[in-house]
Structure 1
């Protein structure tokens, strides 16, 4: 098989991966933002929060926006064919993880046992 033929056969799989990863990422992001809006609280982690959101995508992970961003990042890296971008994804996730730990401390101080019970039910990432 020639290089061109391999590219043509591989392209649908790459497109499917991009669509699935990007689509899943957007579902996580949109679902989380919608739930924050309905709860009347801010989604920005640097802003004070007034409620714990535990329904919808938050039943799967307490960090659906970060999961969504990581999935979209992976989709974009695949779409542009950048092995370097894919190789940097774990480092980006590690940086985000440090922020998550800070957010968890804040939420535990603010909401106490309610937040501790929620975190006991849901895994940090997926």
Structure 2
């Protein structure tokens, strides 16, 4: 007897928690263990970069959530998808929510003046890629077939 398949992508953890976990780990390492000299940039430039990252990241997340809401499909990857979204911000990136979370992560790293958080960027992106995105894409291709596969080939994963 085979187990029934679940109608979810099977991501390793909720993506916001993955980003938060890496951020908190980086901050703990920065301020409790490594204690670097911080980022070497003037305060005006630093806060401009923070503002740009945060505003762009939050804007990307809000735009993506709005498209999901308009399509009537849930955004959390642990819930079954009822549609795939290819309009709005999704014409430019297949993962604008994760891109937005990444920009917020970068903005918070710069705001905290914590280079160790930036050192964790590659492991974070690899975790999101293999633990979330690859699983979601496989799930969506199985669920929505050729239209989704065509979308995969026409829109970049990040930008």
Instruction: Tell me if TM exceeds 0.5.
Output: yes
Alignment match of 2:88 (pick from 32, 36, 56): 56
TM-align CA RMSD:
1.2
Equivalent residue number for residue 100 of structure 1: 133
Secondary structure of residue in 1 paired with 2:125: helix
Please, which runs of 5 or more residues in structure 1 have no aligned partner? 1-6
Aligned-partner Cα distance in 2 for 1:85–1:66: 17
More helix by percentage: 1
Aligned-partner Cα distance in 2 for 1:124–1:111: 17
Residues 45-90 of structure 1 show CA distances to partners (whole Å, capped at 9, x for unaligned) of 1110001111111011110110000000000000010000011122
- Please, what TM-score do these two structures have when normalized by structure 1? 0.91
Equivalent residue number for residue 71 of structure 1: 103
Equivalent residue number for residue 113 of structure 2: 81
Offset, 1:27: 1.0
Equivalent residue number for residue 27 of structure 1: 59
Aligned-partner Cα distance in 1 for 2:75–2:121: 23
Aligned-partner Cα distance in 1 for 2:50–2:92: 22
Aligned-partner Cα distance in 2 for 1:71–1:90: 14
Offset, 1:32: 0.5
Count of residue pairs the alignment pairs up: 119
- Please, what TM-score do these two structures have when normalized by structure 2? 0.73
Please, which runs of 5 or more residues in structure 2 have no aligned partner? 1-39
Aligned-partner Cα distance in 2 for 1:93–1:56: 24
Segments ≥4 residues shifted beyond 4 Å: none
Aligned-partner Cα distance in 2 for 1:103–1:88: 23
